[in-house]
């Protein structure tokens, strides 16, 4: 990649497929063995998942329903015992294979796919790029039930349909930018998926079957997808990682390079998950015969509320990893349009218990368009964590009805999850904003990003316990 050949020739558009191969394994035999190992493990995995669902808190369950659930749990336990002789060789095969596995799968778009026209700032001084981040709680079904969100496969299909409807409702490859607004960025609350999406980062897509539902929707209609992200198996510590990171990234623009780094300090309920930082480089256009690129960093930080020092360590790691990835990926002379960090950071900017994270250097390295300062938010900023106890109320299950409810103080207090017991809520009540899209440019670079709009979306109402967050970023070249 360091050899440019004839330097006067501009980069190809779209660029030729590079180092990103679809299989996470370097050889087809390893890929086939990994598929066999997963097939041997699946019956025991499915049975254990059903058993976990039996222990999840039931809502409005009558005696007949409880009896039916107990019968299903008994059948699952029997299946688990029967499948153990298959699961043991499957596990012994699966564990050593992880040493050869790249920590993500890559789904290229179909042959008929065409990216948006390349951005050429000499002819088009500004272009807007749309980003979406959403935590979907697509855990194995038994675990998802503890968040009052059963039926992960059905929800994955519904989420895919909602995202697809949003992608189809906007003009394909739209590049229009409205004139820059005076003053601070404007935030809106919307019932639809934001229009003009170019990059989608999803969290808690832990269930592989659910991930494949989403990939089948996103790859043909948006573009390349990175999924099944995580460093599995036995890791330094030693730690056993049975779940991935839950991250999924889809792009409308060609992806040139990607990497994943796993946090080494997960504990409690996050101990078995391989959370970390997924970084990707996308080609956006051509300037003076050289590439214009953008960097995307997707993450999901440690969940337990009381573990602030763990999150702070993870923030320090991801900042270092993001810098390393960008330095390794950048070529001489190419222009960087933006570096964007998306994901569920599991802390807010209002709770005093999150003071360590709120003061982190993250906010001096990236810009948070919703933040005015320490524990000071934009008046339009909104909490993104929903209260699990009311997820299935009719109002909370309808995108339009939930949007209208959250416009009112009473609705926000009912449907947005609050701080820990005993904390004094902010006035007016905004909830806990855990989901972030942060951005930065490159000082002295010819391209400069600025926020055009922030969107809080209820489009996934009833399908997850978070609001989706959108960002429309305007990148301009000097006139």
Positions marked active-site = 466
Beta strands at 335-344 and 290-300: parallel, antiparallel or unpaired? parallel
Question: Which secondary-structure segment (H or E) carries 260?
Answer: strand 255-262
Give the N- to C-terminal CA distance of the chain in Å, as an integer.
31
Give the 3-state secondary structure of residue 371.
strand
Residue with tokens 């960090």: 341
- What CA–CA distance (Å, rounded) separates 316 from 282? 24
- What CA–CA distance (Å, rounded) separates 258 from 40? 30
- What CA–CA distance (Å, rounded) separates 473 from 478? 16
- What CA–CA distance (Å, rounded) separates 227 from 208? 9
- What CA–CA distance (Å, rounded) separates 132 from 167? 11
Give the per-residue SS3 of 195-257. CCCCEEEEEEECCHHHHHHHHHHHHHHCCCEEECCCCCEEECCCEEECECCCCEEEECCCEEE
Q: Which of 137, 125, 233 is nearest to 466 (CA)?
A: 137
- What CA–CA distance (Å, rounded) separates 254 from 446? 22
**In the Cβ-directed half-sphere of 247, how many Cα atoms lie within 13 Å?**
35
**How far, in Å, are 194, 195, 215 from residue 171 at the CA level?**
12, 8, 21
- What CA–CA distance (Å, rounded) separates 109 from 325? 24
- What CA–CA distance (Å, rounded) separates 315 from 320? 9
């Amino acid at each position: 990649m360091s050899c440019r050949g004839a330097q006067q020739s501009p980069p190809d558009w779209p660029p030729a497929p590079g180092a990103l191969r679809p299989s996470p394994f370097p050889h087809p035999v390893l890929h086939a063995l990994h598929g066999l190992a997963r097939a041997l493990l699946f019956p025991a995995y499915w049975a254990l998942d059903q058993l976990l669902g039996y222990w999840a808190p039931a809502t409005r369950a009558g005696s007949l329903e409880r009896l039916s659930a107990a019968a299903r749990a008994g059948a699952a336990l029997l299946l688990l015992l029967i499948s153990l002789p298959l699961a043991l060789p499957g596990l012994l095969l699966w564990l050593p294979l992880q040493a050869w596995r790249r920590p993500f799968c890559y789904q290229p778009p179909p042959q008929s796919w065409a990216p948006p026209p390349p951005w050429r700032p000499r002819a088009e001084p500004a272009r807007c790029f749309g980003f979406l981040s959403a935590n979907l709680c697509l855990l194995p079904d038994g675990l998802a039930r503890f968040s009052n969100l059963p039926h992960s496969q059905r929800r994955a299909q519904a989420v895919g349909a909602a995202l697809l409807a949003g992608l189809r409702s906007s003009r394909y490859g739209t590049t229009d930018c409205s004139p820059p607004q005076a003053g601070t960025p404007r935030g809106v609350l919307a019932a639809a998926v934001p229009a003009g999406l170019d990059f989608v980062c999803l969290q808690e897509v832990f269930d592989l079957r659910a991930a494949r539902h989403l990939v089948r929707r996103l790859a043909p209609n948006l573009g390349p997808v990175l999924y099944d992200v995580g460093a599995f198996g036995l890791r330094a510590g030693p730690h056993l990682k049975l779940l991935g990171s839950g991250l999924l990234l889809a792009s409308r623009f060609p992806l040139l390079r990607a990497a994943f780094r796993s946090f080494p300090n997960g504990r409690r309920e996050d101990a078995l998950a391989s959370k970390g930082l997924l970084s990707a480089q996308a080609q956006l256009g051509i300037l003076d015969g050289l590439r214009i690129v953008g960097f995307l960093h997707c993450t999901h930080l440690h969940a337990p509320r009381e573990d602030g020092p763990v999150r702070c360590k993870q923030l320090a790691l991801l900042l270092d990893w993001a810098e390393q990835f960008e330095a390794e990926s950048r070529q001489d002379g190419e222009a960087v349009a933006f570096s964007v960090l998306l994901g569920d950071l599991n802390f807010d900017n209002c709770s005093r218990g999150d003071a360590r994270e709120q003061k982190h250097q993250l906010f001096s390295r990236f810009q948070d368009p919703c933040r005015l300062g320490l524990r000071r938010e934009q008046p339009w900023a909104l909490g993104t964590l929903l209260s699990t106890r009311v997820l299935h109320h009719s109002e909370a299950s309808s995108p339009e009805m939930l949007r209208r409810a959250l416009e009112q103080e009473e609705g926000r207090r009912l449907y947005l999850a609050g701080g820990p017991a005993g904390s004094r809520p902010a006035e007016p009540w905004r909830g806990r904003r855990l989901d972030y899209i942060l951005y930065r440019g490159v000082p002295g670079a010819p391209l400069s990003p600025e926020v055009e709009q922030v969107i809080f979306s209820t489009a996934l109402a009833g399908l997850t316990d978070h609001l989706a967050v959108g960002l429309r970023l305007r990148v301009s070249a000097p006139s």
